[in-house]
Amino acid sequence: MQTHIRRSGWAAFVFIILSFAGYPADGYENFKVAIYAPAQNVQMMGEPNWLKENWEIISRQVKVDKIYLETHRDVILVDEETITEAKKFFESKGIEVAGGITYTIMESNRFKTFCYSNPEQRRRAREVAEYTARLFDEVILDDFFFTNCKCKSCIKAKGKKSWTQFRLGLMDKAARELIVKPAKAVNPKVKMVIKYPNWYEHFQGCGYNLETEPKIFDGIYTGTETRDPVYTDQHLQQYQSYLIMRYLENIKPGGNGGGWVDTGAIQYMDRYAEQLWLTLFAGAREITLFNFGRMLQPIPQELRADWHSTKTSFDFDEMMQPIKLEDGTTVKPSTMARAAGYALEQVDKFLGKLGKPIGVKSYKPYHSTGEDFLHNYLGMCGIAMDLEPEFPADANIIFLAESAKFDGRIVDKIKGQLTAGKCVMITSGLLKALQGKGIEDIVELRCTDKKAVINQFWRRRAFWGRRGAIQESSSNIIIPEIKYLTNDSWEEISCLTSGNGYPILHSADYANSKLYVLTIPDNFGDLYNFPAEVLTQIKEVLMKDLYVRVDGPSQVAIFVYDNDTFIVESFLPESVEVKIVTDKRISKLRDVLSGEELSGEEPPEPPMRGRRRQIQESDKLVFDIKIKPHSYRVFQCE
């Protein structure tokens, strides 16, 4: 995917030229950093002393390459003189300047956006685009270019279409006619960029059109803010900061400009850093810090967690140490800008060593929904995921959640993979959706409306040399009951309950390969309660083509790259011991940050299966490692 901005060879030469032209010479090695200034902040920049003082506070704590100056938000349109003066100020500091627009009427009123059926508001939308394009050669739309309006005009215009169909068409047209075309008419050079928010499963409902807009706009941008997975309304899992970057990069390869993180709704400081890190682990070229005002907020001491005294990846006390500036002076960290700066410095040390992110290919058709955000839960269970908008027929194994039902030819495509000797894993949700729609042509399975409450798992094969044994989950889990025909398909992992049992992972032979069905708990969060051994068996199937995996409890994720580098990151509040399992060609692991070398061991003796002893030698090596709370380790395979 992205080539990181490596300053070597020609790149170094170009960099030197740019340095003389005022590009900040002391930026980060592997990515650019931008700060977004909403209209309210830009208005305040009209006061030169305010701007000078506050810019100094920010730029001494985090290295900034670029600033977005917003012209419009809610009822505010910043006057041209203020914008021009602010532009001059930043340009004189060697900072790249771009414009921004937020198409809201009143953000505080449930994100009230424009009505694109209303002639007056359409005119206003176009004028704002023209005004901004006249002032800047690059303009980004903050993530409110959607509509949730249900006024009488919208109801009438919708007609017999669904709201989704109506809004997809409405916003496609608005993007072309009111934003991009008028902007290019006043400034043919302008680069128009649309930034998408974090609720990607639901975009279509409010008219965000991921199928057409990335082609209409010159660039796209990704909201990677996941905030707190428990206490925020959306409950977005941490892994999403990585996966949504990948999904949007796969939608517009080379055109996903970067990731965007804010400081909101965090319970401990690591959560802020994790969002920045995962965005960069996905290969972001640029990070946008939202926003100028919030970068000035004092560092909240209550975000220092207990584990910060144990030298975790985000070391709160180290962050608070005075910063040495290039002119020899020191600055005492004071505001959130330092949290960003410190977090970014940590990962800039090694990002250049990583290759292209790789993972288990999963397919989420455009405008699809179903088992919303499930892929991120699997990512949190240690399964390296990759999400694509087109069916990834080349992959040896594909994972399909319920959202794949939006492809009317999905059953044929699954058959095509199996006939070609490739595996497919579908979820219980997709099985249910495809019942009566052709899936029975592959295997006669029924995902019933009955539920089972379970806490015991029975693994058919032994784990780490032990015979098959019962594993217990840490809490009761509600699952759908899947029924199958004896000797026609097979339980790979079962659950046991009151003398009964159901498949957790099920397999069916078809043509030259196997279809797997993974039972998804009613509450996806219960995947985190699956015993580590059960997660391992799922990974053995799903991750068989990757050279490395991590075995351990959930909430320890792995990020894998195509050049024998990988990152293991724990989101747990306590230290954890995990096993890294690699292909045998890899004899050693080197910890990129500490330099430590690790040797692997052969897995324990292969298990007995029935009466026949499996005699083939394992093709894996196992490395035992420990990870501190909310910390990552980076490895190079040797």
Closer residue to Zn ion (CB): 152 or 612: 152
Residues near Zn ion (CB under 5 A), total: 5
CB count in 10 Å sphere of residue 64: 24
d(CA 380, CA 376): 6
Neighbouring CB atoms inside 10 A of 149's CB total 21
Determine which helix (DSSP H) or strand (DSSP E) holds 557, and give its type and residue range: strand 556-561
As given in the structure block, the two tokens for residue 485 are: 């025909």
- Min. distance of Cβ 171 from Zn ion in angstroms? 12
Of residues 154 and 538, the one with the C-beta less far from Zn ion: 154
- Contact at 8 Å (CB) between 54 and 86? no
- Stretch near Zn ion under the rule CB under 5 A, chosen from 108-116, 187-195, 382-390, 552-560: 108-116
Our CB check for Zn ion shows the closer of 151 and 608 to be: 151
- The least CB distance from residue 154 to Zn ion, in Å, is 3
Nearer to Zn ion, 33 or 115 (CB): 115
- Nearest distance in Å: CB 201, Zn ion: 24
Closest separation in Å from C-beta 204 to Zn ion: 18
| Cβ 114 to Zn ion shortest distance, Å | 9
Q: How do beta strands 513-518 and 423-427 pair? A: parallel
Give the chain's count of helices (H) and strands (E): 17, 33
Cα(39)–Cα(75) distance, integer angstroms: 10
Q: What's the CA gap between 505 and 482, in Å, rounded?
A: 10
Nearer to Zn ion, 115 or 282 (CB): 115
Considering only residues 121 through 160, tell me which ones interact with Zn ion, judged by CB under 5 A: 149, 151, 154
Shortest approach of Zn ion to residue 150 CB, angstroms? 7
CA distance 295 to 338: 8
**Binding segment toward Zn ion, per CB under 5 A, in 114-122, 265-273, 382-390, 499-507:** 114-122
DSSP character at residue 585: T
Region from 32-40, 92-100, 111-119, 597-605 binding Zn ion, contact rule CB under 5 A = 111-119
**Are 77 and 42 in contact, with CB atoms under 8 Å apart?**
no
Whether 214 and 220 have beta carbons less than 8 Å apart is answered as yes
Q: What would the two tokens of residue 73 be?
A: 């938000």
Token duo for residue 299: 């560092």
Q: Which is nearer to Zn ion, 77 or 105 (CB)?
A: 105
**Residue 117 interacts with Zn ion (CB under 5 A): yes or no:** yes
Q: Using CB under 5 A, which of 115, 418, 520, 542 touches Zn ion?
A: 115
CB of 149 to Zn ion, least distance (A): 3
* Of residues 115 and 280, the one with the C-beta less far from Zn ion: 115
Q: Which is nearer to Zn ion, 168 or 244 (CB)?
A: 168
Helix/strand/coil (H/E/C) assignment for every residue in 136-185: CCEEEECCCCCCCCCCHHHHHHHCCCCHHHHHHHHHHHHHHHHHHHHHHH
The nearer residue to Zn ion, 115 or 543, going by C-beta atoms, is 115
Identity of the residue, 116 or 528, whose beta carbon is nearer to Zn ion in the bound complex: 116
Q: Hey, what are 213's tokens?
A: 């807009």
Report CA dihedral (4, 397, 404, 282) to the nearest 10 degrees. Answer: -20
CB of 105 to Zn ion, least distance (A): 11
CB of 128 to Zn ion, least distance (A): 18
Q: By CB under 5 A, is residue 174 in contact with Zn ion?
A: no
Query: Cβ 213 to Zn ion, closest distance in Å?
Result: 20
Q: Per CB under 5 A, does 25 bind Zn ion?
A: no
- The nearest distance, CB 102 to Zn ion, in angstroms, is 18
Paired tokens of 131: 């005004």
C-beta atoms surrounding 393 within 10 Å? 13
Nearer Cβ to Zn ion (152/611):
152
Helix (H) or strand (E) holding 447: strand 445-459
The DSSP code for 239 is T
Q: Where are the alpha helices (DSSP H) in 266-355?
A: 269-281, 316-319, 336-348
- Interface residue list for Zn ion (CB under 5 A): 115, 117, 149, 151, 154
